[in-house]
């Protein structure tokens, strides 16, 4: 069984990957564990280290075949809160990890980038399209992609530009559009959009992101320096369309719209490259199925809207459990 070093392995996507693919891979996890498990019992983790990506050492990558790197500050409000800190964690942390892995026994690294690197466009974006990052978070993603593409390594690296993720996880995020709107609609019986609903956003369920990772890691072809948009052509939506589908599933009557320029990010993605490499790939979760699964879990578990990541970090700082540089005290 191949062994993966999974940075961010206790996080939103990482915890789902571990809990659903531990029969295929052996895992070694690095995670700061700011956002702790709440809803289901951990399936791991003797191999887990509570550790910041900035402090990664050679010993952390010993005896692993693959690295899947998710361990970064992972959404726009967090990234813009402290731009220098975001750069230190996301860029220099990633650079350190790649340099340590070079000339080791690591065979492949998957870097989890983001479709947010496209920023705003009225065109359907392919992997070769012009990038237009609008936030500090997405700018660090572009810097990391450039560092990977501009340097020679002993391992093969594949970059995944994931659509906006959604779906229930053991470490749920409520700062993502589908999760956020579905939770608000379920709890408050209303949907209030900050924007006028026109911005476009491709979405993908975390189960389908994890299946893409598994396919690439187990594929024998050389996908070094390849970039893939991750998602499906059937999953390019406007925010208004997402809200209407949520409203339909919960039988809500009205949606309140905000200002036209409240959300500057808007783009659609082309997924033909992923489909060409993996012709049998089909998404498991369409939007309706994913929303229904979220609602089922909202009914099952006690979910708090205060669990948005920026709120959790601010609380940990105020309680002096972590310092201003996000190191545990």
CATH number of the domain that 274 lies in? 3.40.50.720
Q: Can you give the pLDDT at residue 170?
A: 87
**Degrees, nearest 5: CA angle 47-212-224:** 90
Question: Quick check: is 327 in a domain?
Answer: no
Question: Quick check: is 329 in a domain?
Answer: no
Is 44 a residue whose pLDDT tops 60?
no
Number of domains in the chain: 1
% of residues, the chain, pLDDT over 90:
75
Q: Find the domain containing 153 and state its range.
A: 3-318
Residues 6+ apart with CB under 8 A from 118: 125, 129, 131, 132, 161, 267, 269
Question: Quick check: is 326 in a domain?
Answer: no
- Model pTM score: 0.95
Q: Can you give the pLDDT at residue 314?
A: 85
Question: Quick check: is 245 in a domain?
Answer: yes
Question: Quick check: is 57 in a domain?
Answer: yes
Question: Quick check: is 238 in a domain?
Answer: yes
Question: Quick check: is 204 in a domain?
Answer: yes
Question: Quick check: is 328 in a domain?
Answer: no
Poorest-pLDDT segment among 45-54, 191-200, 237-246, 298-307: 298-307
Is 43 a residue whose pLDDT tops 90?
no
More confident residue, 135 or 4: 4
């Amino acid at each position: 069984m191949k062994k993966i070093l999974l940075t961010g392995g206790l996080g939103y996507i990482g915890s789902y990957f571990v809990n659903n693919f531990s029969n295929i891979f052996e895992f070694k996890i690095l995670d700061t564990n700011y956002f702790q498990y709440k809803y289901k019992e951990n399936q791991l983790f003797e191999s887990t280290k509570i550790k910041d990506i900035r402090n990664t050492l050679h010993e952390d990558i010993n005896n692993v075949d693959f690295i899947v790197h998710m361990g970064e500050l992972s959404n726009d409000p967090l990234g813009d809160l402290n731009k220098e800190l975001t750069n230190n964690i996301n860029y220099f942390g990633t650079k350190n990890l790649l340099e340590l892995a070079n000339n080791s026994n690591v065979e492949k690294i998957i870097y989890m980038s983001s479709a947010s690197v496209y920023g705003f466009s009225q065109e359907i974006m392919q992997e070769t399209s012009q990038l237009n990052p609008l936030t500090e978070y997405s700018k660090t993603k572009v810097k990391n992609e450039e560092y990977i593409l501009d340097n020679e390594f002993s391992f093969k690296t594949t970059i995944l530009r994931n659509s906006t993720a959604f779906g229930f996880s053991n470490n749920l995020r409520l700062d993502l559009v589908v999760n956020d709107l579905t939770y608000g609609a379920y709890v408050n019986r209303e949907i209030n959009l900050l924007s006028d609903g026109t911005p476009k956003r491709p979405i993908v369920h975390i189960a389908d992101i994890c299946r893409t990772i598994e396919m690439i890691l187990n594929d024998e072809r050389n996908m070094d320096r390849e970039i893939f948009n991750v998602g499906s052509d059937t999953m390019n939506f406007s925010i208004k369309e997402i809200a209407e589908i949520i409203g339909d599933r919960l039988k809500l009557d009205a949606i309140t719209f905000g200002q036209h320029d409240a959300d500057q990010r808007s783009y659609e993605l082309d997924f033909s490259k992923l489909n060409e490499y993996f012709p049998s790939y089909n998404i498991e979760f369409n939007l309706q199925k994913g929303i229904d699964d979220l609602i089922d879990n909202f009914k099952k578990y006690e979910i708090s809207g205060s669990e948005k990541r920026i709120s959790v970090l601010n609380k940990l700082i105020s309680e002096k459990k972590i310092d201003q540089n996000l190191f545990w005290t």
